[in-house]
């Protein structure tokens, strides 16, 4: 048994410790956000946050994660109440097939937590590990800027 904090909740999982986190999330915890893309850490479709840092869940075995905090797409918001980054991607219609977008959103979340007002080059640099095949990149970059603006406005409002 391994204990994880997934999207703020303590979860006890029974998958073998050598199981990559991706399969624990998808198959045992039934979370759809992280996607299988390559299993090689080359495409970023499986990106989640561990203790706030973006990682490839397809390469991260469960045994490294005892007691650690995992955040997935589901932890950012819901269909009824999407989080600020999700809302920005929806507002910019930044998806075609959408398969890669969960990873894009997680990478964006990590970027904006570290750097609230990234410029174009910083956004491109941060998203470099993430592949998109539909060619939605321009909208994704717009969505990241949109999210940065929403988060700054929200931070300003709570001051």
Partner 1 sequence: MRHDISRRAVLQGTGALILSFALTRRAFALTETGVGDTSVHRLPGDLDSTPMLDAWIRIDPDDSATIFTGKAELGQGIKTALLQVAAEELKLPLTRLTLVTADTGRTPNEGYTAASHSVQDSGTAIRNAAAQVREILIGEASRRTGAGADELVARDGVVTGPGGLRLSYGELVSPQLLHVEAQPTSNLTDPKDFTVMDKPVPRVDIPAKLTGVASYVQDMRVPGMLHGRVVRPPSYGARLVSIDATSVEGMTGVVKVVKDGSFLGVIAEKEWTAIQAMRQLAALAKWNETAELPDESRLAEALMALPTQDTVILDVGKPDAAQYDVDASFSRPYLAHGSIGPSCAVARMDSDTLTVWTHTQGVFPLRNALAELFAMPRENVRCIQVEGAGCYGQNGADDVGADVAMLARALPGRTVRVQWMREQEHAWEPFGPGMVVHLQTALGADGMISTWRQEVWSQSHMMRPGPPGTLLAAREKADPFPPPPPVDLPMPEGGGDRNAIPLYVLPNARAVNHFLPEMLLRGSSMRSLGGYLNVFAIESTMDDLARLSKQDPVAFRLRHLADERAKAVIITAAERFGWDGRPKLPAGGGYGFGFARYKNLEAWCAVALEISIDQDTGRTIVERATAAVDTGQVVNPDGVRNQIEGGIVQATSWTLFEGVRFDRRRITSIDWAAYPILRFAHVPRAIDVHIVDRPGLPFLGAGEAAQGPTGAAIANAVRDATGQRLHALPLDAAKIRPQNLLAGRPRAGT
Point out which span in 63-71, 78-86, 108-116, 149-157 binds partner 1 (CB under 8 A): 78-86
Write the interaction track for partner 1 spanning residues 111-140; mark x where CB under 8 A is met and - where it is not.
---------x--xxx-xx-xxxxxxxxxx-
Cα 100 off chain centre by: 10
142 binds partner 1 (CB under 8 A): no
Give a three-class secondary structure readout of the chain.
CEEEEECCEEEEECCCCCCEHHHHHHHHCCCCCCCCCCCCCCCCCCEEEECCEEEECCCCEHHHCCCCEEECHHHCCCCCCCCHHHHHHHHCCCCCCCCCHHHHHHHHHHHHHHCCCCCHHHHHHHHCCCCCCCCCHHHHHHHHHHHHHHHHHHHHHCC
Write the interaction track for partner 1 spanning residues 41-70; mark x where CB under 8 A is met and - where it is not.
-xx-x-------------------------
22 within 8 A of 58, measured Cβ to Cβ? yes
Q: How far is the CB of 159 from partner 1 (least distance, A)?
A: 28
27 binds partner 1 (CB under 8 A): yes
- C-beta closer to partner 1: residue 55 or 127: 127
Point out which span in 22-30, 63-71, 109-117, 147-155 binds partner 1 (CB under 8 A): 22-30
23 binds partner 1 (CB under 8 A): yes
- Residues of the shown chain interacting with partner 1 in the complex, contacts defined by CB under 8 A: 15-16, 19-20, 23, 26-27, 30-33, 35-40, 42-43, 45, 72-74, 76-79, 82, 86, 89-90, 93, 95-102, 105, 120, 123-125, 127-128, 130-139, 141
């Amino acid at each position: 048994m391994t204990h994880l904090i997934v999207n703020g909740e303590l979860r006890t999982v029974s998958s073998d410790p050598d199981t990559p986190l991706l399969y624990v999330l998808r198959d045992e915890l039934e979370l759809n956000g992280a996607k299988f893309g390559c299993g090689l850490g080359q495409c970023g479709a499986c990106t989640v946050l561990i203790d706030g840092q973006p990682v490839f869940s397809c390469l991260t075995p469960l045994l490294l994660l005892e007691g650690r905090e995992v955040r997935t797409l589901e932890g950012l918001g819901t269909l009824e109440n999407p989080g600020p980054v999700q809302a920005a991607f929806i507002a910019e219609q930044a998806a075609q097939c959408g398969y890669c977008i969960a990873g894009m959103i997680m990478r964006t979340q990590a970027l904006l937590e570290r750097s609230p007002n990234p410029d174009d080059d910083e956004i491109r640099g941060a998203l470099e590990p993430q592949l998109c095949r539909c060619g939605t990149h321009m909208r994704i970059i717009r969505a990241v800027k949109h999210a940065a603006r929403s988060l700054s406005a929200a931070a300003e409002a709570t001051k």
